[in-house]
């Protein structure tokens, strides 16, 4: 039997862990890809310079974010805050008043 693989690096980016699925969509928009594994899901967001993977698990009957990874990420952490910021939904620009 082989060795157990090492777990992900520590350190979750603040503000995402615990978000429900609806709140994640409100912050990030619809994911580019969703994968369901049993009762959990992985959502992928893709940008020009990075990708983010959100892992959602059931919590009190609803899915919520429990882990985030980005590619690339900084050493010693599973996710890079700069990547997540670049993927966030930007508020619409105000329309000029005529």
Q: What are the extents of the domains in the chain?
A: 21-87
* pTM: predicted TM-score of the whole model, two decimal places: 0.79
Give the whole-angstrom CA distance, residue 23 versus residue 17. 11
Give the whole-angstrom CA distance, residue 67 versus residue 53. 8
| Helix extents (H) in the chain | 21-28, 81-87
Q: What is the CATH number of domain 21-87?
A: 3.30.1450
pLDDT, tens digit (0-9, with 9 covering 90-100), for 10-25: 567 778 888 999 999 9
User: Does position 60 have pLDDT exceeding 60, yes or no?
Assistant: yes
pLDDT, tens digit (0-9, with 9 covering 90-100), for 22-46: 999 999 999 999 999 999 999 999 9
């Amino acid at each position: 039997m082989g060795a157990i693989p090492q777990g992900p690096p520590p350190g979750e980016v603040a503000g995402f862990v615990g978000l429900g699925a609806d709140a994640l969509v409100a912050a990030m928009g619809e994911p580019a890809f969703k994968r369901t594994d049993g009762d959990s899901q992985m959502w992928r967001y893709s940008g020009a310079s990075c990708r983010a993977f959100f892992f959602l698990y059931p919590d009190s009957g609803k899915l919520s974010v429990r882990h985030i990874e980005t590619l690339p990420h900084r050493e010693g952490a599973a996710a890079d805050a700069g990547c997540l910021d670049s993927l966030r939904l930007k508020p619409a620009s105000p329309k000029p008043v005529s």
